[in-house]
Structure 1
């Protein structure tokens, strides 16, 4: 249990208005997307990196568990205070895009920046950040890095780890480190940034992220293949990926999912189909899209597709 002296020390670090041990805050920060519930003993909102360092140093000395948290949208329990301790809530103050470097195609952000907001900001400059987890409307980039989030575009563009170039982070003893570099090629020393990615906050608290950007493709098209059964749909996926084209995304729905979606949203999906594949391609020229869609149509039909529709 945290005694009052610990709470007062934490308040002296971050201010009275940024440290809470009332029931409302403890309940609000006791769960994530798993719906499991473990109440923390306090919720602390660090204002800057110095606060994070001071909090971790104090808690390390007094053996108080610290659980970094972004939006709490993860499905692995990484933000749950299973052993009590304090929630280090990063969304209040660590929510700024620090730099979008159009010349070098990189960006620096704080961990509380929401994925979707970041994507929209870089797309306004004609750039593209591909990782798009299903929770992108509210999940934070710090959480994405800590969980190595992917998304539907992972088939072509990869996942979060493929875009992290450097990190600033605070170690449990309060030391601040910088791992990685703002360059594409970095072979000097250990890959410490790679170790921190997907560590779920167990090794350090991330305070700044440097991300790689790419040019945004000008065009995209979507298509749907209807299949008599699951096996034929899966064979179509394998054959497509081996055909020399890589779709941006390839989403599979079995019959149960098709009927559930159609019952709820009335999209005109074929409820008697054994399975459907919904796919997307992108590129800078109409001819590129047409070529990819033709290959998709051929590979789908070779594997039992009974209807191929282009949106």
Structure 2
């Protein structure tokens, strides 16, 4: 079975959006989950966060940045082309979907997206909007020309705040500067923050939310490699516990994540020597004992 590309958009110089025809995945998908793409028989596994889904059309939206050979190959495909494997939904859905809707409506939530993180933030904000829950959103980018998802997010967020590092658009500063502006200067208050973006951005955002006493959830989809819990790449220390982002997450309490250790693992995992060192130092905790290839095609 193959999965047809029914829409393709280039969001900026290196980021693409694709709608994939995958009815069974679309019917089961929930905010916060991810899928695994394998382009062809020789393709590697690529975990990608679900950026949207349409149960009626039977499509799932993925957004990806072309950084390696596989993602560049995916970016070269066009409408009408097909992907060999499209497995999901995988991972645990966002915890708020299990909460009482009326209680959710009383919460003041803010979502903070950095770069491509705007894509996985969108289905969460969309789900809340569809259930009558108003939330604020910050989207940060280095500059205006790489900003994505502004119009989509405007349609589902109560308030959308755009910031750019170079000041070419919106607020001049990063997402933590924008959050500080909202809370300390504009007098806004929040009960919970959800932060998705590059690891270093999530680390500093969590430092800021802790200072402001805003409990924070982060999504660690950025540290996945094979998406099964077997490779050990997404092993992460959450407080005193060892977790695996692809099977236990990808969402965790941001204040408990050991970001420095996770980022060091990311760098080491890029070489065979580094992977061997990690296997030796991790011992029995290198891969997840709960690994299971779930989801549907």
| TM-score clears 0.5 | no
Coarse TM-score class (shorter-chain normalised): under 0.3
Relative to the length of structure 2, the TM-score reads: 0.27
More strand by share: 2
